[in-house]
C-alpha cells in the first residue's frame, strides 16, 4: 500500500500541517478515518493531557476499531483516536453538557493532535485513557504548535479543527 497523507488544520487561524497515516500500525482505524474524511468540528484544548487539541465528531466507523497501536503517553505529532460513550464525557467536570451525545446517545469520537512533549492520558474521573495512534505529523508541526499555544492563551471560541485528505480543498 502506498503511503497516505492528510491535512490537519485550524481553519480560522489558517494553519495547516501534513500527517502520514500509520496504516502498518493501526490499519482498521486508518481505514475508518480515511473513508470518513473530511472530518472536523469545534476545537478544544485539553484539560488533562496537556499539549493536545481535539475535535469531537459523531461516530463514523461501521464497527468501532479495536485498541490498536495504543498509547497513554503521546508524543509531539501523534494523531490519536478515542471513542467515548455519552456517559464518559457527560460529567460536569468535562463541561460538554449535551454535546457529549452527538448521535442518538452513541457518544462521540475524539480526533486529537498532540503538539508538544510531556503528555499523559490520565483523567481524574476515569483513570487511564489509552488512545489509538493512527497518524504522525511529517510537515508543519512547528507552525501548528505555535497556533495551538495561541489557542490555549487566546481561546478556542470560533475555531475549527479539520482533517481532510492531503490535496483536497476545504
Calculate ∠ Cα 13-159-12, nearest 5°. 30
Q: Is residue 89 part of a domain?
A: yes
Q: In sequence order, what are the residues at sequence separation of 6 or more whose Cβ sits closer than 8 angstroms to the Cβ of residue 81?
A: 26, 29, 33, 65, 109, 110, 111, 112, 131, 132, 134
pTM exceeds 0.75: yes
Q: Is residue 170 part of a domain?
A: no
Indicate if the pLDDT at residue 104 is higher than 80: no
Q: What is the CATH number of the domain that holds 145?
A: 2.40.100.20
Query: 122-162: per-residue pLDDT in tens?
Result: 887 788 999 999 999 999 999 999 999 999 999 999 999 99
Provide the residue range defining the domain that includes 132: 5-165
Query: 56-93: per-residue pLDDT in tens?
Result: 999 999 999 999 999 999 999 999 999 987 677 666 66
Total domains, the chain: 1
- 26-30, 45-49, 151-155, 158-162: which has the minimum mean pLDDT? 45-49
Amino acid at each position: 500500500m502506498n503511503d497516505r497523507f492528510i491535512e490537519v488544520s485550524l481553519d480560522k487561524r489558517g494553519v495547516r500541517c501534513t500527517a502520514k497515516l500509520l496504516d502498518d500500525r493501526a490499519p482498521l482505524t486508518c481505514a475508518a478515518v480515511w473513508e470518513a474524511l473530511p472530518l472536523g468540528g469545534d476545537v478544544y484544548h485539553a484539560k488533562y493531557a496537556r499539549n493536545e487539541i481535539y475535535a469531537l465528531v459523531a461516530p463514523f466507523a461501521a464497527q468501532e476499531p479495536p485498541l490498536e497501536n495504543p498509547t497513554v503517553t503521546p508524543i509531539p505529532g501523534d494523531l490519536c483516536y478515542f471513542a467515548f460513550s455519552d456517559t464518559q464525557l457527560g460529567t460536569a467536570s468535562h463541561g460538554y453538557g449535551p454535546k457529549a451525545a452527538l448521535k442518538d446517545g452513541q457518544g462521540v469520537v475524539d480526533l486529537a493532535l498532540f503538539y508538544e512533549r510531556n503528555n499523559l492520558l490520565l483523567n481524574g474521573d476515569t483513570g487511564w485513557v489509552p488512545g489509538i495512534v493512527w497518524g504522525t505529523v511529517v510537515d508543519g508541526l512547528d507552525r501548528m504548535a505555535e497556533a495551538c499555544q495561541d489557542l490555549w492563551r487566546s481561546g478556542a471560541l470560533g475555531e475549527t479543527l479539520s482533517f481532510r485528505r492531503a490535496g483536497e480543498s476545504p
